[in-house]
Amino acid sequence: MSGTAVGPGAVSALQAALAAEHAAVYGYGVAGAYLDGPAETTATAYWNAHQVARDTLEAMLRQAGAQPVAAAPAYQLPHKVDGPASATALAVLLENRVTAAYLGVVAVTDPAVRQFGARAMATAAGRAATWRGRTVAFPGFPRGAFGNG
Amino acid sequence: MADRTRRGVLAAAASLPLLAVSGCKGVGALAPPPRPGPDVIVLRAAIAAEEAMIARYGTAIARFPGLAKTLTGLRAEHRLHLAELRTRLVIPSGSPYRSGFASPSPRPAGAPGAAAALPAGQAAALDFLQTAEDSAAAALLRGLAAVPPSLAQLLASVAASESTHVAVLRSAAG
């Protein structure tokens, strides 16, 4: 994908996805500290995956002549993280936000970018389902967007 | 609710202006009916795929009671997919394409007569369902380029959901 030229219309959607990946990298750093055993292993693998995704997005944006958005020095956590349950809840939230950001990438008309966004959505939705312990009908959309989601 | 209505503005309406034009010209009315656009074709295929998937789950649920809870949950998500996809397909009344798809009372998936073929044996059936989910998701991704952004988002979301089903089926298979 990094070999694909990206049009200007795709830049803002990719920047939003990059911002979500930056937040995920930060958030997993926090969540991972409160997880152990298999959950910690999973968190570490997903943390790495988000760093790879971040690097991919940065490369795509640079190739499009855009300056990739930088990570914030710190992020406001959506809730207090002080144990495995709240750490897992944070991971679900991070993945939901990443999925939603890639949903924005799917709205881009460039077919290759759209395809890239859809694949990234599926990956993030899979990670969210792992943490959540169940699947949802419409990953990326707000809960209840379509009757029952 | 207003938002929902806006989203419902859909693909098949693309054939409306053509119908209207042919209605205004006497001779034009004899012209061949407009063909459904590529977005309508993709949407119809997505709807048919969901119906087939629901039927497969119906067969599996009846045959493997031990898996009923897991499979019923996955089928419920397919039913939501199907319902939402159908709202995107509005066929103008009088359209020659009205019959045969997107009818308000579709053939009941999973009902007698709609039983889907499934390999015998639980392991083989779960494997088959995994492949079916995977193929359905891949087909949706192939259709993305042909549809407008809001439908592309729905199809991508449905594909993502189906991808997560593969993992659930894999762990059910043990």
Please tell me if residue A64 touches chain B, with a CB cutoff of 8 Å. no
User: With 90 as the cut, is the pLDDT of residue B132 above it?
Assistant: yes
The answer to whether B145 contacts A111, with C-beta atoms less than 8 Å apart, is: yes
Kindly report the nearest CA distance between residue B18 and chain A, in angstroms. 25
The answer to whether A135 contacts B161, with C-beta atoms less than 8 Å apart, is: yes
- What is the band of B116 on the pLDDT scale with cuts at 50, 70, 90? confident
List the single residue in B with minimal CA-CA distance to A121: B160
More confident residue, A149 or B165: B165
What pLDDT is stored for residue B7 in this prediction? 44
What pLDDT is stored for residue A8 in this prediction? 73
User: With 60 as the cut, is the pLDDT of residue B105 above it?
Assistant: no
**Interface probe with A: pick from B161, B165, B169, most Cβ of A within 10 Å:** B161
- Which residue type is seen at B98? R
Q: Give this prediction's pTM.
A: 0.84
User: With 50 as the cut, is the pLDDT of residue B12 above it?
Assistant: no
Closest CA to B78 of B100, B46, B103: B46
User: With 70 as the cut, is the pLDDT of residue B48 above it?
Assistant: yes
The answer to whether B80 contacts A109, with C-beta atoms less than 8 Å apart, is: no
CA torsion angle for B6, A138, B116, B47 (degrees, to 10)? Answer: 20
Stretches where chain A sits below pLDDT 70 are 1-5, 147-149
Quote the percentage of chain B above a pLDDT of 90: 61
The answer to whether A118 contacts B159, with C-beta atoms less than 8 Å apart, is: yes
Please tell me if residue A13 touches chain B, with a CB cutoff of 8 Å. no
Burial category of A42 from C-beta neighbours within 10 Å (exposed 0-12, middle 13-18, buried 19 and up)? middle
Rounded to the nearest 10 degrees, the angle between the axes of helix A38-63 and helix A111-132 is 160
**Rounded mean pLDDT, B118-127:** 94
- Which residue type is seen at A71? A
User: With 70 as the cut, is the pLDDT of residue B104 above it?
Assistant: no
Nearest to B160 among A108, A111, A139 (CB): A139
- What is the band of B13 on the pLDDT scale with cuts at 50, 70, 90? very low
Closest CA to A120 of B141, B12, B101: B141
What pLDDT is stored for residue B108 in this prediction? 47
Six-digit token pair at B146? 């042909």
Please tell me if residue A37 touches chain B, with a CB cutoff of 8 Å. no
Nearest to A125 among B81, B150, B164 (CB): B164
**Rounded mean pLDDT, B119-147:** 96
Can you tell me the ipTM of this complex?
A: 0.94
What pLDDT is stored for residue B111 in this prediction? 46
Closest CA to A81 of A130, A34, A26, A22: A34
What residues of chain A lie within 8 A of the CB of B155, using their CB?
118
